Structure formats: C-alpha cells, structure tokens
Structure 1
Amino acid sequence: MGKYHTIQSSKGEKCLICEQNKLEGIHLFQSFICLECEREIINTKTNDPKYQYFVYQMAKVRILQERRQA
C-alpha cells in the first residue's frame, strides 16, 4: 500500500468521492481521495450499486485534469 498524505490545513481537503473535507488520504493526479473512501472503493464489489457511484465520481478526475490543461 502507498503512503497516505496528511493535510496540513486544519480544514483538510475536499474529497473527490464524498465531497467532505478530510485530513488524510491520497492524491490521484491532482485530486484528493480521503482514506475512508479509498478503503471503501477497494472493498466494494463490482456488482454493488455503490461501485457505479465510485466510477462516476472518479470520472471527475479526467474532467478536472482536462480543465487544468486547457
């Protein structure tokens, strides 16, 4: 497992998945995914309805990346 990043700001950083400010997580490109969501994504089966939600939320990474490059 990779290193988790602890956010220095007391407010944390907004998670791409749950959209809440959290203090610990990982960065995927320039997007932040909190520790709780990352663990839930890993443990979710593909036939679980939550899986589609995670796929939808993760698709935002591409959109955000394209906007940053424009």
Structure 2
Amino acid sequence: MDEHAHNTCIICGEHKLEGIHIVSEFICDACEAEMIHTDVQEEKYHFFIHRMKQIWVQKNA
C-alpha cells in the first residue's frame, strides 16, 4: 500500500495521511491522541469503545 495514500479513519470518518492501522482499519493521529487523553468517565470514551469494536466486527464478518 502506498504510504502516502489517504486512509479513512474509523473514528472521525475523515480521510487522513497520518495514523495507525489496526487489523484492516485505520485510526488517524488526531483521534488516537484524543482517545489516549479521554478519561473513562467521559461520554466520548464510550463512543471510542463502540467505534473500536467495529474493527473486530468487520474482521469476523
């Protein structure tokens, strides 16, 4: 894969150049940083968990 290709982030849905791949999905740098700094008590934490579950759902589909 071209390392400069745009990837669609499974968290924000935006096309980004920089980020990480987990299994066959992509998470942009901005979302990764936000996830790392989100406290488990915050509502956004549950959103991140829901989106991350999609990695395993799609892999096992």
SS in structure 1 of the partner of residue 59 of structure 2: helix
Q: CA deviation at 1:7?
A: 3.8
**Residue equivalent to 2:48:** 54
- Report the alpha carbon displacement of residue 59 of structure 1 after superposing the two structures with TM: 0.6
Report the TM-score, using the length of structure 2 for normalisation: 0.91
Provide the rounded CA distance (Å) in 1 between the counterparts of 2:35 and 2:22.
13
Which structure has the larger Rg? 1
Aligned-residue sequence identity (percent) comes to 35
Gaps of 5+ in 2: none
| Number of aligned residue pairs | 60
Asked if 1:38 corresponds to 2:32, the answer is yes
For the residues of structure 2 that align with 1:33 and 1:64, how far apart are their CA atoms? Answer: 15
Deviation of residue 13 (structure 1)?
0.6
Distance 2:3 2:16 in 1: 8
- In the other structure, the counterpart of 1:8 is 4
Normalising by structure 1, we get a TM-score of 0.80
Q: Which runs of 5+ in 1 are unaligned?
A: 1-5
Q: Aligned partner of 2:25: which letter? A: S
| Misfit runs of 4+, over 3 Å | none
